[in-house]
Chains A and B, each alone.
Chain A
Amino acid sequence: MEACVKEPFLPGWFTLDAQAPHLIGTRCAACGTYYFPKETRYCRNPDCQSTDFEQVLLSRTGRLWSYTDAAYPPPPPFVAPDPYRPFAIAAVELEKEKMIVLGPVADGVGVEALRVGMAMALTLEPLADGKLTWKWRPA
């Protein structure tokens, strides 16, 4: 069990530090724009032609911009647990990066526990097939 929960559903998208995980992004070396998922080919700022990026760990805390839940099982490639359990979904605004990042909310935290503006932190949990994903939880 321990071995299988350590496998991320996508390698290289987030660190596997169980206590303080980070999403892994990139930052344009010329204009400072952050990217998640990682951009390594071309900067999308129309005033920047840089192809030079550094890999960065994104802020692991932010403010809840908005939230919802998935009351019905999403279609594949989502692997729905049986029986299905609705889960909350968060959009979290990162201050330094000035971007909003989506993600599921940690198991057991429903929409009734969420408020726009509250502090959120990144966490790791397995999806129904045992692969790890990033999730958000109240900080």
Chain B
Amino acid sequence: MNREIAILGVGLHPWGKWGRNFVEYGLKAARDALADAGVDWRSVPFVSGAATMRCGYPGYVAGATFAQALGWQGAEVNTSYAACASGAQALAAARAKILSGACEVALVVGADTTPKGFLAPQPGERPDDPDWVRFRIGLTNPTYFALYARRRMALYGDTPEDFAAVKIKNAAHGAENPNARYRRRFTREEVAASPMVADPLRLLDVCATSDGGAALVVSSLAYARKIGKTNAPRIVAISTVTPTFPNALVEMPDLATDSAAAREAQPFRAALPRKAYEEAGIGPEDVDVAEVYDLSTALELDWIEDLQLCARGAAAKLTREGATRIGGRIPVNPSGGLACFGEAVPAQALAQVCELVWQLRGQAGARQVQNAKVGITANQGLFGHGSSVIVKR
């Protein structure tokens, strides 16, 4: 059985700190995706929304919220919440619906409006919630990214200059992306002079939180042929695996890792693309372009290794050699990544797929990766949620 689906249309609302209601961003992205697909809204029988927890009830029922904003026309809806992987899970729900034959075409939407500064826990005295406890003793999200970064320095000899090289590379990519929030190039000196946030990570090593929206129109391959889009990029894998006990790495919001006293510790991040490769029946050597979740500069290096684009510990060297730049052997984050977008949680995993679609169609303009045929995304967030999607043409 062919388990592939087609991506007929993509759309983004530019990332920024617009301060408007998240529904506006999702609506703009959805209308762009529908127009790009050439699909009439009235003929979409399924809307899959990625939830936001920061925007009240409409955010909890995002699928219905976007369907209502587009105008109720009787479509069935779904809402997925999976932290940073919410968009990928919403996409997986649409794929399941299509592959089961329950519908031919679906709209997937995620959008968010974020507060300024550190992401903070829900209010109230809640000692049973590790998220509350870790903030009570002062552990923010950058704390975790910095622990991973320092660990790279100790294990592989990475330096703050290696991390800065990721920022410089992504900033150069994002400067060419009209949907990116930050479109400025940076120098090594500027990164090194930015304020320390969580040693060894500086302000320009850590991603911001942003407002933004992303949408995809996806369909069965038969439907794509029927409307004359036989060559549309196809989703050939969606991995949303959970960790395997005991998880080797201390993850937000936990205060400790699982104990490996009874079973050998298992890495989580690497398991996400591994399952995607298996599902697609391809390997890392087949990948032409990758969009990875650079919550920090150092984390992009971890992802490059988790995707097996180089040996463990070799990602800083790969970056220094220019292999991950557009024009290099394996461009990473041609969109500019989170470094240039900032994170709009429920939209981010979908925005990664949008970028791959533009790359695979040859529509990425000045940031085009030449002759890209296979792209992979990778993303991970709070509490064992992550995703990896492979797109092919």
Chain B CB within 8 A of A18 CB: no
Contact between A70 and B138 (Cβ–Cβ < 8 Å)?
A: yes
Contact between A98 and B260 (Cβ–Cβ < 8 Å)?
A: yes
Contact between A66 and B261 (Cβ–Cβ < 8 Å)?
A: no
Set of chain B residues within 8 Å of A36, measured between Cβ atoms: 255-256
Q: Please give the distance in Å from B391's CB to the nearest CB on chain A.
A: 32
Contact between A66 and B138 (Cβ–Cβ < 8 Å)?
A: no
Q: Please give the distance in Å from B258's CB to the nearest CB on chain A.
A: 7
- Per-residue contact bits, chain B 107-142, to A (CB 8 Å; 1 contact, 0 not): 000000000011011010101001011111111101
**Number of contact residues on A: which range applies?**
35 or more
Query: Knowing A10-B127, A66-B154, A74-B118 touch, does A98 contact B261 (C-beta < 8 A)?
Result: yes
Chain B contact residues, majority secondary structure: loop
Q: Please give the distance in Å from A109's CB to the nearest CB on chain B.
A: 13
Give the distance in Å from the alpha carbon of A37 to the alpha carbon of B138 in the complex. Answer: 17
Q: How many residues of B contact A (CB 8 A)?
A: 48
Chain A CB within 8 A of B199 CB: yes
Number of interchain pairs (Cβ within 8 Å): 140
Contact between A67 and B147 (Cβ–Cβ < 8 Å)?
A: yes
Give the distance in Å from the alpha carbon of A110 to the alpha carbon of B262 in the complex. Answer: 35
- Per-residue contact bits, chain B 84-122, to A (CB 8 Å; 1 contact, 0 not): 000000000000000000000000000000000110110
- Per-residue contact bits, chain B 148-166, to A (CB 8 Å; 1 contact, 0 not): 1111011000000000000
Query: Knowing A35-B259, A102-B139 touch, does A66 contact B147 (C-beta < 8 A)?
Result: yes
The closest CB in chain B to the CB of A34 belongs to B259
Give the distance in Å from the alpha carbon of A89 to the alpha carbon of B143 in the complex. Answer: 8
Give the distance in Å from the alpha carbon of A28 to the alpha carbon of B258 in the complex. Answer: 12
Q: Please give the distance in Å from A101's CB to the nearest CB on chain B.
A: 4
Give the distance in Å from the alpha carbon of A116 to the alpha carbon of B280 in the complex. Answer: 39
Stretch from B5-13, B190-198, B310-318, B339-347 at the A interface:
B190-198
Set of chain A residues within 8 Å of B255, measured between Cβ atoms: 36-37, 101-103
Contact between A78 and B262 (Cβ–Cβ < 8 Å)?
A: no
Contact between B147 and A91 (Cβ–Cβ < 8 Å)?
A: yes
The closest CB in chain B to the CB of A12 belongs to B127
Query: Knowing A10-B133, A74-B118, A99-B257 touch, does A69 contact B198 (C-beta < 8 A)?
Result: yes
Contact between B135 and A72 (Cβ–Cβ < 8 Å)?
A: no
Query: Knowing A33-B246, A66-B150 touch, does A77 contact B121 (C-beta < 8 A)?
Result: yes
Q: Please give the distance in Å from A87's CB to the nearest CB on chain B.
A: 7
Contact between A117 and B154 (Cβ–Cβ < 8 Å)?
A: yes
Sampled A-B contacts (8; CB under 8 Å): A32-B262, A33-B258, A69-B146, A71-B199, A76-B120, A102-B250, A102-B255, A103-B255
> What 4 pairs across the A-B complex have the smallest Cβ distances?
A68-B146, A116-B154, A34-B259, A98-B260
